[in-house]
Chains A and B, each alone.
Chain A
Amino acid sequence: GESVGLHLPTLSVQEGDNSIINCAYSNSASDYFIWYKQESGKGPQFIIDIRSNMDKRQGQRVTVLLNKTVKHLSLQIAATQPGDSAVYFCAETGGGADGLTFGKGTHLIIQP
């Protein structure tokens, strides 16, 4: 989920297991959501997006679920690999002038 203060929440999973990273948003007018992956020393990398007229979207080894009722977004990563170790954060927008609002991220750690 979202971080509090300076420390990112951490999710530690075994290699080969599935990972679920959560994101709560507060703007009920948000209609577009994105998940990004950021490896150490690199820029954020687009993973997958979803619009509010959908509740699920699948990519390669990743699935995003959207629950508009409780304003919750999740990213599922299947068969987690060492290369999946990174900070993952969500972003959302209602299309207004404020643009994308970014979450602070979750640090995914893969254990061998």
Chain B
Amino acid sequence: DAGITQSPRHKVTETGTPVTLRCHQTENHRYMYWYRQDPGHGLRLIHYSYGVKDTDKGEVSDGYSVSRSKTEDFLLTLESATSSQTSVYFCAISETTGINEKLFFGSGTQLSVL
């Protein structure tokens, strides 16, 4: 998957606990993204990054925070997980410098919040 590794691949957690998902890329691409995928909604953008320590909110950012301390790593944190955050989370990177153009995706993290 285009040099993108997501971890963990599966996680089950309880409501109210913090959760951090990791995305690691080996392509040295500037842009990185976190999406969630839910039935009936398709892919929705949570947060994105256009460089180290440069991040911005997407369409569904409430309840999520991100950090990017190195080019290759982009972390997504759920400060206090809720059942509505049960979803499949995908990290993506951009091949080009144009924001959101030609995204390449990781394999996803299945998160279940009980």
Contact = CB atoms under 8 A, between A and B. Distances in A.
A binds B: yes
A44 B107 contact: no
Interface residues of B, number: 25
B40 A104 contact: yes
Contacts of A83: none
A44 B44 CA distance: 13
Nearest to B103: A100
Contacts of A99: 33, 45, 48, 58, 99-100
A44 B101 contact: no
Nearest to B1: A43
Contacts, number: 56
A110 interface: no
A6 B107 CA distance: 22
Given A43-B90, A99-B48, A105 B104 contact: no
B107 to A, nearest CB: 5
A58 interface: no
Contact of B40 (A5, A41, A97): A5
Nearest to A49: B102
Contact of A43 (B39, B98, B107): B107
Contacts of B103: 34, 44, 46, 91, 100
Contacts of B41: 104
Contact of A89 (B4, B42, B48, B104): B42
